[in-house]
Amino acid sequence: MQTWLSIIKRVLMMPSHKSITVPINDATDPEKEGAVKTIGEIGVHEADYEFTLEDGGRVHIKKYKNYYEVHWDKVSPLINAIEHPRQDAPHWWILLCAGGGAGLGALITYLISKFLGKEDDKKDISFNTLFGFGGGALLGLLTCNNE
């Protein structure tokens, strides 16, 4: 039976986001050794846990039916929920930036039309929402960690 300390030492010697697989019957329950149960991406795994590291990173554990998948992230979402997707989940970072850009594009169009006393122009709002989405996605792509 492996301890989580030995698993963590092995994972931290690898590059970030590089996963190892640990059979479920070869490790103790991570919560019993101090891991915190967290919310992860929706998927086929049963649970997410993390050991938060002193430098603000984390060891992320995904529990599946017969095994754990373990890797380390540069930033724990419990420490910095904005920086985590930028550094460790760029696909979510780009999507967040695109959504923010779309919302901003629609809001600016709405405010300008109200300020100028124009009727809501659905074409302008749609165009600027799409333009904002693209601009936000580009911003997300340029600012994410692309290792």
pLDDT for res 18: 95
Q: For 138, list phi and psi in degrees, rounded to 5.
A: -65, -45
Residue 60 belongs to domain spanning = 4-73
Tens-digit pLDDT profile for residues 31-46:
999 999 998 877 789 9
pLDDT for res 115: 79
Question: How many domains is the chain partitioned into structurally?
Answer: 2
Confirm whether 102 is domain-assigned. Answer: yes
CB-side neighbour CA atoms (13 Å) of 65: 1
Tens-digit pLDDT profile for residues 75-119:
999 999 999 999 888 888 898 899 998 988 888 888 877 777 776
| Bridge partners for 61 per DSSP | 49, 70
Name the domain boundary from 73, 97, 120.
73
Confirm whether 26 is domain-assigned. Answer: yes
| Bridge partners for 21 per DSSP | 69
Confirm whether 78 is domain-assigned. Answer: no
Tens-digit pLDDT profile for residues 109-130:
888 777 777 766 666 677 778 8
Task: Specify the DSSP element, H or E, that contains 113.
Answer: helix 90-115
